[in-house]
Amino acid sequence: MAELTKTISDLTTPVVLLDRAKTIANIRSMQDHCNANGVGLWPHMKTHKMVEMAKLQLAAGAQGLTCAKVGEAEAMLPSGVRRIFIAHSLVDVRVAPRLTKLADQLDELRVAATSVAQAEALERVAMATGRVLKVMLALDTGLHREGVRDIESAKGVAAICARCPQLELAGIYTHEGQLYGAKPEEQSERTAAVLQRMIEVRDAIDTSLPLWPGCSVTAPLMAATGKVQVVRPGAYMFGDMALAVTSQVMAPIDVAIHVLVTVVDRPEPGLALIDAGSKVFSSDKTALGVHAIAVDGRDIQAVRLNEEHGYLRGSDVDTLKVGDRLQLMPAHVCTVINLTNQVTVVEGATIVDRWRVDARGRVD
């Protein structure tokens, strides 16, 4: 722990604050819920990209980690992780040597088969690794991104796995990210529909295949059904506006990542400019066009961003003066972490550590 200032009032801004106690409580609560339902937890590390965070999740009982990219998986090895699922469409044989090296350092490496066309390419990748790879069949359950669209394609992917000695079909997964758009009162029904679709497709191929859905909005609901074997949420241990305000699956007080910013100008009534823009928050916003909100309850929102400026509006914005500092809850936490080299770890206002974002930029 090098050269720590003592409290957040010593910090210059903008700075990303990670509340350690809240983070640990969020990890514990998801893990306890999974344990109580006999469901495995393979958190998606895309949200945190930090070895320190992976260590906390694994120590709490996570069975493995989900990654999007091979580079993210490589960056997580120092956490001591033994099982990794790369939930992305691998197609390039040039990645095979890296996969082989990864597999050598793990007890289990799972890869994704996301369509018939991609599975044909994956087969060539697997042959080049010289390893038997466990394959998770991706099913589109409404996001309309990767994943087979129908039972015929699911059977096509299963047939490719059956003919290739180096691909072993080992489960079905989905990312039901469309649930971020569900109203709180619709979540149970829409989660049940996702699960029903997974069961339907699974039963058409092999009734013994485990089901691995993955989304922080649905993870507690999915785990409680007793019909899935693993859940793979990502953002749950930090939270953001998407989880605490829009979908309301967590309390705003439990959100563990805040961005501390400074008001740098008040060019006109009703507008405050802050020292953090899209290079801190990314361009992500809620469906209502909000990039971040004040966490102290005042009606203050970042409604527009340039690279180095945020535009604060809201009925309480005229309570702000130049030099004031405030903490904001971001609309989408994953992209905020991805833009910073390190987070400042706090307990209340006390700085207790700084953690590197190890997989920052590992989009490879």
Residue 232 is a binding residue for ligand PLP (CB under 6 A): yes
**Sequence letter at residue 275:** D
Q: Which two tokens stand for residue 344?
A: 């400042």
Residue 171 is a binding residue for ligand PLP (CB under 6 A): no
Binding mask 39-68 for ligand PLP (x = CB under 6 A): -----x--x------------------x--
Among 40, 64, 142, 214, binds ligand PLP (CB under 6 A): 214
Among 14, 40, 171, 233, binds ligand PLP (CB under 6 A): 233
Rounded least distance, CB 13 to ligand PLP, Å? 26
Binding mask 130-169 for ligand PLP (x = CB under 6 A): ----------------------------------------
Choices 1-9, 89-97, 228-236, 316-324; region in contact with ligand PLP by CB under 6 A = 228-236
> Nearer Cβ to ligand PLP, position 64 or 234?
234
Contact in structure between 74 and 363 (CB atoms under 8 Å): no
Residue 87 is a binding residue for ligand PLP (CB under 6 A): yes
Residue 235 is a binding residue for ligand PLP (CB under 6 A): yes
> Nearer Cβ to ligand PLP, position 285 or 354?
285
Contact in structure between 140 and 180 (CB atoms under 8 Å): no
| # residues contacting ligand PLP (CB under 6 A) | 14
Choices 100-108, 196-204, 231-239, 343-351; region in contact with ligand PLP by CB under 6 A = 231-239
Choices 9-17, 195-203, 233-241, 349-357; region in contact with ligand PLP by CB under 6 A = 233-241
Give me the phi and psi of 183, to 5 degrees please.
-70, 150
Taking alpha carbons only, the member of 251, 239, 224 closest to residue 34 is 224
Rounded least distance, CB 333 to ligand PLP, Å? 9
Residue 177 is a binding residue for ligand PLP (CB under 6 A): yes
Residues that bind ligand PLP (CB under 6 A): 44, 47, 66, 87, 175, 177, 214-216, 232-236
